[in-house]
Chain A
Amino acid sequence: MAKENKKTKNTQYLTIKEEREIAKSNRKIMKQFERAKNRKNVDESEFTTQMHDPRNVIEIDNLHTYFYTDVGTTKAVNGVSFKIPEGKIVGVVGESGCGKSVTSLSVMQLVQGPVGQIVDGSIRYTTSEGKCYDIAKMPRDEMRRIRGKEIAMIFQEPMTSLNPVFKIGDQLDEALAIFEPKMSKNEVKARSIEMLEMVGIADQEKIYHNYPHELSGGMRQRVMIAMALICNPRLIIADEPTTALDVTIQAQILELLLEVKNKINGSIMLITHDLGVIAGMADYVVVMYAGKIVEAGDIHDIFKNPKHPYTVGLMRSLPSLSHVVTGSRLYSIPGQVPSPVNLPDNCYFCNRCEYSFDICMEQYPPDYYFEDNHRAACFLYDEKYKDLDLIKPELPRNLTDDSESIMARKIPQGRVVLESETDGFGG
């Protein structure tokens, strides 16, 4: 077997020569982008734009974020557009590696450089002073004024996102010290403690002087939320805020996020792979697959009337719904997500899709619009192919009707009446 391998060239691997060539051209491209980002004293007009709709906090338009790796260009975010209206929660769902996190990092301009670069597109954001900036074009120095103050982020893992060598209090004070240089030390401390109180931490004075390792996961996540909220941001990006936590703690944190959002009247971009969390929190949903948005819409549109086969597949593969739908066997989407290097020209989902037909193999579908902002990128909804009588994916029946499913069940609280008691014995 080893001999055969030598003769036929293995297309899976690159030769060292090929890899060097890629690396060389990558360096050229990356240098250009880095130079543009590192410029100083740039005129403001260069990155000032106009919002399309003033009611939105942020508008992401045709965003492309690529990673120039030695094995090829990874198109992590490949033409993503959506907007977040003021005071709303937008949920971004998708499998790992679909570009959810990279989208959020692009908004913060925190993509790991020089390998990762925002290549194309615009991210329009209006500051609290009323100026509208394009974050994608902003130089690094200017971005500092927005990051942390106007847009704040709650990171994925509370266990690793706090600095282990600084006290909780020092880490909380840091942001205020930068953005509010006029505040005295005591004022800063008072504000930090107030924030700790707001996120439901009892005994704030003690926690203020604790180190991160002394806190549990749920407490650390609370501290992370306090840290994000300390400068009264207008947009909070919550990147899988509850993934590392237990269900009971997750319920606490989600409740807290909703409460806090109403208090500061901010918007939230909630990134998660848990459809249950999205259903309970979000107003709008964006479903991503392999760096593109496959479906976006109002929460009810997405959950009650999903259009894209991927969204439907995702819903059907949830264990809490699935056995209602298919009887005994779990529905599973066959195959795997395509590699983000060298993506094909056709629909990225077509080889996993049971509804795919000829055109799906040839080109990537455009967005098709349904009622109110609901859109899906799928050829099934093209008027041109209406005559083909294509079967469209749908959720088999109203899921909530089934009393067997976990969702329709009424969970008793406290003491449950025993069978034996109803018979007249004991009690």
Chain B
Amino acid sequence: MSNNQVPETMLNNDAILYSTEMNKDNLDRNVQNNSNDYLVQVKNLKKYFPAGLKGTTRQYVKAVDDVSFNIPKGTTMGLVGESGCGKTTVGRTMLRLYSMTGGEVYFDGQNINKLSRSALRKLRPRMQMIFQDPYSSLSPRMPVGEIIGEAVREHNIVPKAELNEYVAKAMNDCGLPYQYARRYPHEFSGGQRQRICIARAVALQPDFIVCDEPVSALDVSIQAQIINLLQDLQNEFGYTYLFISHDLSVVEYISDTIGVMYLGSMVEFGDKKKLFAKPMHPYTQALLSAVPVPDPDFEMQRVILEGDIPSPVNPPSGCKFRTRCQYATEECAKSCPKFIEYESQHEVACFLYPQE
């Protein structure tokens, strides 16, 4: 998936695996990669958190281990996986809210890990985040107008005199009447709070928004309102989203490309349609089959995964999924499968497929 590796492997092995036509397609894509079509490029991102007491042998929780992907401008990438698989850490590390252990993140061509404090501060308004829980991510002591206007004032987005008007516009965009500007967060329902969170992010005129489980705390009917709002804003202002969620049906609905994570690594990445029509990795298959279907006549062909997700402190050797995978062989324990693109816009890391 990272641009440097994929074409090389492709060129070496095209005779064995790929028709010439497909290969050409990939080469075309590579040319595109080098242009500035990608707003965000993540290469081999790593984030380890230290665990255990100081003085003893230091262990690390490998929350994110070698994840790479690109997000083209104006599109939405979905990131799915079980809780604890590192989805949120990816989102936060990409914005440098956590310092990264390894790898590179390019935002609009700039390596954000190498930016100085002041340069990063200038970039901040362009990349925003909508946090997970609308109940705990709003300061209870600030009125809504202040919550939305604070960062706008801080970053001098508009002249001081126009601030109130600007906040009113941002609130209006997100479906909040301006009369609410003097109220406090506790006076709002969950859906409205999520709108405040969105207005806060949108007010800074960002290019890129990381939406960290924006709808998982909300009811179905309110969830639909928020998803529509996010899509309307994207159509109007051309935002790029990283949409983190564990709800596959929501991700399928909103995303253009989808990445599936398991225990800190990405196991499958692809175009939405390809990934849902032909999930290649056994974990993706299990995940898709576990989604409850709202139809009583539908016969579940669930692939039930045994056991729980292993601890990220001591992940299994080789392929991390092998402990729960029914197709696991001895090979899986020995080495890690490579992340290989088997058809355009569809990449998998699994030994079920040729590793060339």
Q: Which residue of A lies closest to B80 (CB)?
A: A247
A26 at the interface (CB under 8 A from B): no
Beta-carbon contact of A247 and B246 below 8 Å? yes
**B interface, CB within 8 angstroms of A:** 16-19, 22, 82-83, 182, 189-192, 219-225, 227-228, 231, 246-250, 252-254, 276-280, 282, 285-298, 300-305, 308-309, 327, 342-343, 352-354
A119 at the interface (CB under 8 A from B): no
A90 CB to nearest chain B CB (Å)? 14
Asked if A319 meets B249 with Cβ closer than 8 Å, knowing A250-B290, A276-B294, A313-B221, the reply is yes
Bound CA–CA A363/B246 (angstroms): 42
Beta-carbon contact of A425 and B225 below 8 Å? no
Q: Which residue of B lies closest to A254 (CB)?
A: B292
Beta-carbon contact of A329 and B219 below 8 Å? no
Beta-carbon contact of B293 and A280 below 8 Å? yes
- A400 contacts across to B, CB distance below 8 A: 295, 297-298
Residue in contact with B287 in the complex, picked from A248, A320, A322, CB distance below 8 Å = A248
Asked if A277 meets B253 with Cβ closer than 8 Å, knowing A252-B304, A409-B276, the reply is no
A213 at the interface (CB under 8 A from B): no
Interface residues of A in 331-347 (CB under 8 A from B): 331-334, 336
Residue in contact with B252 in the complex, picked from A304, A319, A399, CB distance below 8 Å = A319
Beta-carbon contact of A329 and B83 below 8 Å? no
Beta-carbon contact of B225 and A332 below 8 Å? yes
Asked if A411 meets B19 with Cβ closer than 8 Å, knowing A248-B287, A313-B221, the reply is no
A15 CB to nearest chain B CB (Å)? 17
Bound CA–CA A412/B293 (angstroms): 17
Residue in contact with A247 in the complex, picked from B222, B290, B343, CB distance below 8 Å = B290
Q: Which residue of B lies closest to A299 (CB)?
A: B296
Beta-carbon contact of A329 and B228 below 8 Å? yes
- B189 contacts across to A, CB distance below 8 A: 336
Q: Which residue of B lies closest to A423 (CB)?
A: B19
- B279 contacts across to A, CB distance below 8 A: 411-412, 416
B319 CB to nearest chain A CB (Å)? 14
B321 CB to nearest chain A CB (Å)? 11
Interface residues of A in 195-220 (CB under 8 A from B): 216-219
Interface residues of A in 399-427 (CB under 8 A from B): 399-400, 406-407, 409-416, 418-420, 423, 425-426
Interface size range of chain A in the complex: 35 or more
Asked if A411 meets B221 with Cβ closer than 8 Å, knowing A319-B227, A406-B293, the reply is no
Asked if A320 meets B278 with Cβ closer than 8 Å, knowing A275-B294, A420-B18, the reply is no
Given A416-B278, A426-B17, 20 more pairs with CB closer than 8 A: A248-B82, A248-B287, A250-B292, A275-B294, A303-B295, A304-B296, A319-B223, A334-B225, A336-B191, A406-B248, A406-B293, A407-B293, A407-B295, A409-B276, A411-B279, A414-B285, A415-B353, A418-B353, A419-B22, A419-B343
A262 at the interface (CB under 8 A from B): no
A321 at the interface (CB under 8 A from B): yes
A261 at the interface (CB under 8 A from B): no
Bound CA–CA A125/B162 (angstroms): 65
Beta-carbon contact of B17 and A323 below 8 Å? no
Beta-carbon contact of A320 and B249 below 8 Å? yes
- A322 contacts across to B, CB distance below 8 A: 224, 253
Bound CA–CA A248/B252 (angstroms): 17
- A277 contacts across to B, CB distance below 8 A: 292
Bound CA–CA A112/B285 (angstroms): 44
Q: Which residue of B lies closest to A336 (CB)?
A: B189
Asked if A314 meets B221 with Cβ closer than 8 Å, knowing A280-B292, A426-B354, the reply is yes
Asked if A420 meets B19 with Cβ closer than 8 Å, knowing A279-B293, A406-B293, A407-B298, the reply is yes
Residue in contact with B278 in the complex, picked from A249, A273, A407, A412, CB distance below 8 Å = A412
Beta-carbon contact of A399 and B227 below 8 Å? no
Beta-carbon contact of A406 and B291 below 8 Å? yes
- B302 contacts across to A, CB distance below 8 A: 251, 255
Residue in contact with B292 in the complex, picked from A217, A274, A330, A334, CB distance below 8 Å = A274
Beta-carbon contact of B182 and A412 below 8 Å? no
Beta-carbon contact of B224 and A331 below 8 Å? yes
A185 at the interface (CB under 8 A from B): no
Beta-carbon contact of B291 and A247 below 8 Å? yes
Beta-carbon contact of B253 and A399 below 8 Å? no
A290 CB to nearest chain B CB (Å)? 13
Residue in contact with A318 in the complex, picked from B16, B249, B300, B343, CB distance below 8 Å = B249
Beta-carbon contact of B294 and A415 below 8 Å? no
Q: Which residue of B lies closest to A414 (CB)?
A: B327
Beta-carbon contact of B342 and A418 below 8 Å? yes
A131 at the interface (CB under 8 A from B): no
Residue in contact with A320 in the complex, picked from B192, B294, B327, CB distance below 8 Å = B294
B146 CB to nearest chain A CB (Å)? 14
B12 CB to nearest chain A CB (Å)? 14
Asked if A246 meets B83 with Cβ closer than 8 Å, knowing A219-B308, A314-B220, the reply is yes
A157 at the interface (CB under 8 A from B): no
A339 CB to nearest chain B CB (Å)? 10
Residue in contact with A415 in the complex, picked from B288, B292, B301, B352, CB distance below 8 Å = B352
B137 CB to nearest chain A CB (Å)? 18
Asked if A323 meets B253 with Cβ closer than 8 Å, knowing A279-B292, A314-B221, A400-B298, the reply is yes
Show 12 residue pairs from A and B whose CB-CB distance is below 8 angstroms, ordered by the A residue.
Answer: A249-B82, A303-B294, A304-B296, A314-B220, A320-B291, A336-B191, A400-B295, A406-B252, A407-B293, A412-B278, A420-B342, A420-B343
Bound CA–CA A278/B247 (angstroms): 16
Asked if A415 meets B297 with Cβ closer than 8 Å, knowing A250-B290, A250-B292, A277-B292, the reply is no
Residue in contact with A279 in the complex, picked from B182, B228, B295, CB distance below 8 Å = B295
Beta-carbon contact of A218 and B308 below 8 Å? yes
B80 CB to nearest chain A CB (Å)? 9
Beta-carbon contact of B304 and A251 below 8 Å? yes
Beta-carbon contact of B296 and A279 below 8 Å? yes
A38 at the interface (CB under 8 A from B): no
Bound CA–CA A248/B253 (angstroms): 20
Beta-carbon contact of A406 and B249 below 8 Å? yes
A202 CB to nearest chain B CB (Å)? 9
Beta-carbon contact of A418 and B295 below 8 Å? no
Bound CA–CA A254/B293 (angstroms): 13
Beta-carbon contact of B182 and A1 below 8 Å? yes
A367 at the interface (CB under 8 A from B): no
- B182 contacts across to A, CB distance below 8 A: 1
- B292 contacts across to A, CB distance below 8 A: 247, 250-251, 254, 274, 276-277, 279-280
